[in-house]
């Protein structure tokens, strides 16, 4: 392998690892379904995403993740790369269908053993393991009974969490209960873009409530199984803009914020669900039992923020239930996935969380961009736009810290190109390029930059 740390850093923006504290967590994020493959191996059960991939038209390139990056077999090589990048942390997720393979079954030792080896591999390489317990791959046998819409799925989740944290709690000190509950609930059950593909807003709100409830119940359970565990949740949050100064658009932006951001932040911080949305969506509200909101507000140790892009919102009386719509502004810089590139949006979002909510350590648990990477004739991958994306977002994070935001870590999405949900393999987000035919890994220019940045002054 080439010496990753000899690359000369471009001068703009001026950024050094020393601009961040010495104990800052530097890592990359991955998720089980997107990278592992090994679909039927060692007893792994079917997940809702395996089933979703089989339905025609659901995945844009008609692909599935039964092999993906073959990380199930190639994980030592993948962890080597994270280590060479100079990272000190690594975020991964645990596939529930590997751990509890049938309803009510006892934990599957072979599934747990895989994660045990993986965690040991991280520790051997100086990577602090950050485990996400739910990154969307619900066992299909639970979906057959109603999935997250059914309250009993919360109990099934707690059994899975109990088995996993008992097994890994001696070595994993950072736990994330859920990744992006908004996506679990809304993409999975409202717009139907994600598994299980339901289109029912009321069901989506019920799913959301059960996911948040399961989070609150999991916090003390994790702490009882994993000594000194730090427990948090990773939310997808967005800074918002109004399409105009008209009061209707401003009010629409508030409603959008209510469901996109406050619907999660408010109950987690003990404020209950936001009153404006409870009123606006009165016909679709979930069943909530007496102590649920107290449980959801169980104190956490950190907040995980996944930041990708801001959104611009307009009033749309014709679009139920929120009567809002997204406006795509033509003059904006965008990634290959058409997501707006707005580093200052990250600073703005973090400062808003600091100003509006109680003090809590924040970790950027995902941030990244997809571009249409090509392998050059000499075998290199020059993803200068992605490199600049990372530099500019880290600069925004530095500014947020200067404004008093207690940000303590940054995880790039993602270590390597992978299965990007409904987009299949069409969207590449990695610091490492994957040839999905040969499984060859090639460090991109962005990965070389990260390595040079993190290995500075070492
Ligand atoms: C996030 C997901 C992650 C990945 C990135 C691009 O919403 O958490 O799995 O797909 O987007």
DSSP symbols for 106-128 = PP-HHHHHHHHHHHHHHHHTT-E
CATH class given for the domain over 4-454: alpha beta
Told to judge if 366 belongs to the known catalytic residues of this protein, a careful annotator would answer yes
For 26, the 3-state DSSP assignment is strand
Tokens standing for residue 47: 């997940």
* Closest to 9 in 3D by CA, of 450, 424, 458: 450
Per-residue pLDDT of the chain (458 residues; tens, 9 = 90+): 445 545 554 446 789 999 999 999 999 999 999 999 999 999 999 999 999 999 999 999 999 999 999 999 999 999 999 999 999 999 999 999 999 999 999 999 999 999 999 999 999 999 999 999 999 999 999 999 999 999 999 999 999 999 999 999 999 999 999 999 999 999 999 999 999 999 999 999 999 999 999 999 999 999 999 999 999 999 999 999 999 999 999 999 999 999 999 999 999 999 999 999 999 999 999 999 999 999 999 999 999 999 999 999 999 999 999 999 999 999 999 999 999 999 999 999 999 999 999 999 999 999 999 999 999 999 999 999 999 999 999 999 999 999 999 999 999 999 999 999 999 999 999 999 999 999 999 999 999 999 999 998 66
Spacing, Cα 333 to ligand 1 middle (Å) = 20
Substitution site in 386, 413, 415, 425 for ligand 1 pocket (most atoms within 8 Å of beta carbon): 413
Query: Which residue's CA lies nearest to atom 4 of ligand 1?
Result: 420
Rounded (10°) CA dihedral 84, 235, 388, 14: -80
Q: Is 420 in the pocket of ligand 1 (CB under 6 A)?
A: yes
Closest ligand 1 atom to the C-alpha of 180? Answer: 8
CA distances from 23 to 26, 88, 122, 128, 316 (A): 9, 9, 17, 12, 47
Strands (E), 128-246: 128-132, 174-179, 230-236, 240-242
Distant-in-sequence, close-in-space partners of 279: CB < 8 Å, separation ≥ 6: none
**Distance of alpha carbon 255 from alpha carbon 322, whole angstroms:** 7
> Across 202-253, where does the E strand assignment appear?
230-236, 240-242
Check the CA dihedral 53-116-360-350 and report its sign.
Answer: negative
Q: How far apart are CA 454 and CA 456, in angstroms?
A: 6
Mutate to test the pocket of ligand 1, among 420, 425, 428 (most ligand atoms within 8 A of CB): 420
Atom in ligand 1 nearest the alpha carbon of residue 421: 10
How distant, in Å, are the alpha carbons of 1, 124, 190, 306, 366 from that of 409?
Answer: 28, 21, 32, 12, 10
Ligand 1 mean position, distance from CA 139 (Å) = 19
Token pair recorded at residue 371:
């571009």
Going through 44-166 in order, the beta strands assigned E by DSSP cover 89-93, 128-132
Cα 6 to ligand 1 centroid, rounded to whole Å = 31
Query: Ligand 1: which atom is nearest the Cα of residue 179?
Result: 8
| Residue 420 Cα: closest atom of ligand 1 | 10
Q: Which residue has the tokens 């109004």?
A: 242
The sign one gets for the Cα dihedral 387, 393, 397, 400 is positive
Beta-bridged to residue 306, according to DSSP, are: 236, 366
- Which sequence spans correspond to the domains of the chain? 4-454
249: CA distance to ligand 1 center in Å?
28
Contacts of 151 by beta carbon, 8 Å cutoff, 6+ apart: 210, 287
Pocket test for ligand 1, best of 180, 339, 411 (most atoms within 8 A of CB): 180
């Amino acid at each position: 392998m080439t010496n990753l740390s000899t690359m000369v850093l471009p001068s703009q923006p001026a950024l050094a690892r020393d601009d961040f504290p010495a104990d800052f967590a530097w890592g990359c994020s991955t998720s089980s379904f997107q990278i592992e493959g090994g679909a039927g191996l060692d007893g792994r059960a079917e997940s809702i995403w395996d089933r979703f991939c089989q339905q025609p038209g659901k995945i844009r390139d008609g692909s599935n993740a039964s092999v993906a990056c073959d990380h199930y077999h190639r994980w030592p090589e993948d962890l080597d790369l994270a280590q060479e990048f100079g990272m000190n942390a690594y975020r991964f997720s645990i596939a529930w269908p590997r751990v509890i393979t049938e309803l009510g079954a006892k934990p599957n030792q072979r599934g747990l053993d895989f994660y045990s080896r993986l965690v040991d591999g991280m520790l051997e390489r100086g990577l602090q393991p950050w485990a996400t317990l739910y990154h969307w791959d619900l066992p299909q046998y639970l979906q057959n009974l109603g999935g997250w819409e059914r309250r009993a799925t919360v109990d099934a989740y707690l059994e899975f969490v109990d088995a996993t944290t008992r097994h890994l709690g001696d070595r994993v000190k950072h736990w994330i209960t859920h990744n992006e509950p908004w996506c679990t609930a809304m993409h999975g059950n409202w717009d139907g873009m994600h598994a299980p593909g339901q289109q029912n807003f009321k069901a989506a709100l019920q799913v959301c409530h059960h996911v948040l409830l399961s989070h609150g119940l999991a916090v003390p359970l994790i702490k009882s199984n994993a000594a000194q565990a730090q427990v948090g949740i990773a939310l997808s949050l967005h800074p918002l803009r109004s399409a105009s100064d008209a009061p209707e658009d401003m009010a629409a932006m508030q409603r959008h914020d209510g469901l996109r951001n406050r619907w999660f932040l408010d109950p987690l911080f003990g404020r209950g669900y936001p009153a404006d949305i409870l009123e606006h969506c009165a016909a679709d509200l979930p069943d909530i039992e007496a102590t649920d909101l107290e449980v959801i507000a169980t104190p956490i140790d950190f907040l995980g923020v996944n930041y990708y892009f801001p959104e611009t919102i307009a009033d749309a009386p014709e679009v139920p239930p929120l009567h809002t719509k997204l406006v795509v502004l033509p003059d904006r810089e965008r990634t290959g996935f058409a997501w707006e590139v707005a580093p200052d949006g990250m600073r703005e979002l973090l400062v808003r969380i600091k100003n509006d909510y109680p003090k809590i350590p924040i970790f950027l648990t995902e941030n990244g961009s997809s571009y249409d990477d090509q392998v050059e004739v000499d075998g290199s991958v020059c993803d200068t736009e992605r490199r600049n994306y990372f530099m500019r977002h880290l600069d925004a994070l530095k500014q947020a810290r200067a404004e008093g935001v207690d940000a303590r870590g940054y995880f790039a999405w993602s270590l390597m190109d992978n299965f990007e949900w409904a987009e299949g393999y069409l969207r590449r987000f990695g610091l490492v390029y994957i040839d999905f035919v040969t499984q060859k890994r090639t460090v991109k220019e962005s990965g070389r930059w990260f390595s040079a940045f993190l290995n500075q002054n070492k």
